[in-house]
Protein backbone atom coordinates (compact mmCIF):
# COMPACT_ATOMS: atom_id res chain seq x y z
CA UNK A 1 0.00 0.00 0.00
CA UNK A 2 1.14 3.53 -0.81
CA UNK A 3 1.07 6.80 1.11
CA UNK A 4 0.15 8.68 -2.08
CA UNK A 5 -1.04 8.04 -5.58
CA UNK A 6 0.06 11.03 -7.65
CA UNK A 7 -0.87 10.76 -11.30
CA UNK A 8 -1.87 12.45 -14.53
CA UNK A 9 -4.26 10.25 -16.57
CA UNK A 10 -5.06 11.11 -20.20
CA UNK A 11 -7.63 13.91 -20.64
CA UNK A 12 -9.54 13.02 -23.86
CA UNK A 13 -13.15 11.82 -23.48
CA UNK A 14 -12.36 8.27 -24.62
CA UNK A 15 -10.21 7.85 -21.48
CA UNK A 16 -12.75 9.09 -18.91
CA UNK A 17 -13.48 5.53 -17.75
CA UNK A 18 -9.87 5.32 -16.48
CA UNK A 19 -10.64 7.86 -13.75
CA UNK A 20 -13.34 5.55 -12.39
CA UNK A 21 -11.00 2.56 -12.58
CA UNK A 22 -8.32 4.59 -10.79
CA UNK A 23 -10.69 5.56 -7.97
CA UNK A 24 -11.83 1.96 -7.55
CA UNK A 25 -8.28 0.54 -7.61
CA UNK A 26 -7.10 3.19 -5.15
CA UNK A 27 -9.04 1.31 -2.48
CA UNK A 28 -6.55 -1.55 -2.69
CA UNK A 29 -3.45 0.54 -3.47
CA UNK A 30 -3.77 3.42 -1.00
CA UNK A 31 -3.09 3.38 2.74
CA UNK A 32 -6.09 4.33 4.89
CA UNK A 33 -4.65 7.77 5.66
CA UNK A 34 -3.21 8.34 2.19
CA UNK A 35 -4.27 10.66 -0.61
CA UNK A 36 -5.05 10.16 -4.27
CA UNK A 37 -3.83 13.20 -6.21
CA UNK A 38 -5.08 13.40 -9.80
CA UNK A 39 -4.26 16.01 -12.42
CA UNK A 40 -7.02 16.46 -14.99
CA UNK A 41 -8.24 18.76 -17.69
CA UNK A 42 -11.03 21.29 -17.18
CA UNK A 43 -13.47 20.18 -19.83
CA UNK A 44 -14.62 16.88 -18.25
CA UNK A 45 -14.16 17.93 -14.61
CA UNK A 46 -17.79 17.35 -13.56
CA UNK A 47 -17.79 13.88 -15.13
CA UNK A 48 -14.48 12.98 -13.50
CA UNK A 49 -15.72 14.02 -10.06
CA UNK A 50 -18.94 12.02 -10.54
CA UNK A 51 -17.02 8.91 -11.63
CA UNK A 52 -14.39 9.05 -8.90
CA UNK A 53 -16.56 9.91 -5.88
CA UNK A 54 -18.43 6.63 -6.32
CA UNK A 55 -15.35 4.97 -4.80
CA UNK A 56 -13.33 7.55 -2.88
CA UNK A 57 -14.14 10.70 -0.93
CA UNK A 58 -13.36 14.12 -2.35
CA UNK A 59 -10.85 15.94 -0.13
CA UNK A 60 -9.82 19.16 -1.94
CA UNK A 61 -9.00 20.77 -5.27
CA UNK A 62 -5.70 22.43 -6.12
CA UNK A 63 -4.50 24.62 -8.96
CA UNK A 64 -1.48 23.52 -11.01
CA UNK A 65 -0.14 26.72 -12.54
CA UNK A 66 1.38 26.18 -15.96
CA UNK A 67 3.72 29.15 -16.06
CA UNK A 68 5.09 28.04 -19.42
CA UNK A 69 2.17 29.80 -21.12
CA UNK A 70 -1.56 29.62 -21.66
CA UNK A 71 -3.04 26.63 -23.44
CA UNK A 72 -6.18 26.99 -25.57
CA UNK A 73 -9.11 24.71 -24.72
CA UNK A 74 -10.42 23.64 -28.11
CA UNK A 75 -13.97 22.91 -26.87
CA UNK A 76 -14.34 26.37 -25.30
CA UNK A 77 -13.09 29.85 -26.10
CA UNK A 78 -10.70 29.89 -23.14
CA UNK A 79 -6.94 30.08 -22.77
CA UNK A 80 -6.06 28.44 -19.48
CA UNK A 81 -2.92 28.87 -17.40
CA UNK A 82 -3.74 26.23 -14.78
CA UNK A 83 -5.01 22.67 -14.42
CA UNK A 84 -7.17 21.16 -11.68
CA UNK A 85 -5.49 18.85 -9.18
CA UNK A 86 -8.21 16.72 -7.58
CA UNK A 87 -7.38 15.31 -4.16
CA UNK A 88 -9.24 12.36 -2.67
CA UNK A 89 -8.85 10.34 0.54
CA UNK A 90 -10.05 7.02 1.91
CA UNK A 91 -10.50 8.27 5.47
CA UNK A 92 -9.09 11.00 7.67
CA UNK A 93 -5.88 12.38 6.21
CA UNK A 94 -3.38 13.23 8.97
CA UNK A 95 -0.32 14.20 6.94
CA UNK A 96 1.25 17.53 6.15
CA UNK A 97 -0.78 20.70 6.00
CA UNK A 98 -0.36 21.77 2.38
CA UNK A 99 -1.09 24.68 0.10
CA UNK A 100 -3.46 24.21 -2.82
CA UNK A 101 -1.41 25.99 -5.49
CA UNK A 102 1.32 24.08 -7.30
CA UNK A 103 3.68 25.59 -9.86
CA UNK A 104 5.32 24.33 -13.02
CA UNK A 105 8.25 26.51 -14.05
CA UNK A 106 8.24 25.36 -17.66
CA UNK A 107 6.61 23.06 -20.19
CA UNK A 108 8.38 19.76 -20.87
CA UNK A 109 7.15 17.75 -23.84
CA UNK A 110 10.44 16.32 -25.13
CA UNK A 111 9.78 12.72 -24.08
CA UNK A 112 5.99 12.41 -24.35
CA UNK A 113 3.21 14.57 -25.77
CA UNK A 114 1.38 14.55 -22.41
CA UNK A 115 4.50 14.96 -20.28
CA UNK A 116 4.42 17.27 -17.26
CA UNK A 117 7.41 19.17 -15.92
CA UNK A 118 9.65 17.85 -13.16
CA UNK A 119 9.35 21.24 -11.43
CA UNK A 120 5.56 20.95 -11.35
CA UNK A 121 5.52 17.40 -10.01
CA UNK A 122 8.23 18.33 -7.50
CA UNK A 123 5.99 21.20 -6.30
CA UNK A 124 3.18 18.72 -5.61
CA UNK A 125 5.41 16.18 -3.88
CA UNK A 126 7.28 18.73 -1.72
CA UNK A 127 4.00 20.15 -0.44
CA UNK A 128 2.34 16.80 0.28
CA UNK A 129 4.98 14.20 1.07
CA UNK A 130 7.60 13.62 3.71
CA UNK A 131 10.93 12.07 2.66
CA UNK A 132 10.69 8.28 2.77
CA UNK A 133 6.99 8.13 1.94
CA UNK A 134 5.76 5.94 -0.91
CA UNK A 135 4.27 7.24 -4.15
CA UNK A 136 2.51 5.29 -6.92
CA UNK A 137 1.90 6.69 -10.41
CA UNK A 138 -0.29 4.24 -12.36
CA UNK A 139 -0.05 6.45 -15.48
CA UNK A 140 3.72 6.78 -15.29
CA UNK A 141 4.38 7.92 -18.84
CA UNK A 142 7.99 9.03 -19.22
CA UNK A 143 8.56 8.93 -15.45
CA UNK A 144 8.32 12.60 -14.50
CA UNK A 145 6.51 11.93 -11.21
CA UNK A 146 9.13 9.32 -10.36
CA UNK A 147 12.03 11.66 -11.08
CA UNK A 148 10.46 14.30 -8.82
CA UNK A 149 9.73 11.68 -6.13
CA UNK A 150 13.34 10.48 -6.08
CA UNK A 151 14.60 14.08 -5.98
CA UNK A 152 12.41 14.59 -2.88
CA UNK A 153 13.79 11.38 -1.28
CA UNK A 154 10.51 9.49 -1.60
CA UNK A 155 10.08 5.90 -2.76
CA UNK A 156 8.43 5.49 -6.15
CA UNK A 157 6.54 2.83 -8.10
CA UNK A 158 5.24 3.48 -11.61
CA UNK A 159 2.95 1.61 -13.99
CA UNK A 160 3.02 2.24 -17.75
CA UNK A 161 1.36 0.18 -20.50
CA UNK A 162 3.40 1.44 -23.46
CA UNK A 163 6.70 -0.48 -23.59
CA UNK A 164 8.71 2.27 -25.30
CA UNK A 165 7.49 4.92 -22.86
CA UNK A 166 8.12 2.58 -19.91
CA UNK A 167 11.71 2.09 -21.09
CA UNK A 168 12.16 5.87 -21.24
CA UNK A 169 10.86 6.11 -17.66
CA UNK A 170 13.21 3.34 -16.46
CA UNK A 171 16.20 5.12 -17.98
CA UNK A 172 15.24 8.48 -16.46
CA UNK A 173 14.70 6.93 -13.03
CA UNK A 174 18.02 5.07 -13.18
CA UNK A 175 19.88 8.29 -14.02
CA UNK A 176 18.11 10.16 -11.21
CA UNK A 177 18.89 7.36 -8.73
CA UNK A 178 22.56 7.35 -9.80
CA UNK A 179 22.73 11.11 -9.30
CA UNK A 180 22.24 10.46 -5.57
CA UNK A 181 18.51 11.01 -5.25
Q: Is the pLDDT score of 177 beyond 90?
A: no
Q: pLDDT confidence of 13, banded at 50, 70, 90?
A: very high
| Distance of alpha carbon 145 from the chain centroid | 7
Under DSSP, the state recorded for 13 is: G
**CA–CA gap between residue 155 and residue 80 (Å, rounded):** 32
Res. 181: pLDDT tops 60: no
- pLDDT per residue as tens digits for the range 124-160: 999 999 999 999 999 999 899 999 999 999 999 999 9
Query: Over the stretch 35-60, which tens digit does the pLDDT of each residue have?
Result: 999 999 888 999 999 999 999 999 99
Q: Which residues contact 119 (CB under 8 A, 6 or more apart)?
A: 103, 104, 105, 106
pLDDT, tens digit (0-9, with 9 covering 90-100), for 67-102: 756 676 777 788 888 999 999 997 788 899 999 999
| Angle between helix 118-128 and 144-151 (nearest 10) | 50
Amino acid sequence: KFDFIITDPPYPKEYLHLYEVLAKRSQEWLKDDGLLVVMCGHYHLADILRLMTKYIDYYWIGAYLTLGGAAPIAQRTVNTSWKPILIFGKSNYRGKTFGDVFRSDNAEKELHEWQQSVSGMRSIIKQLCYPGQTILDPFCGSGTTGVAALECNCLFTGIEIDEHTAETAKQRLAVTACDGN
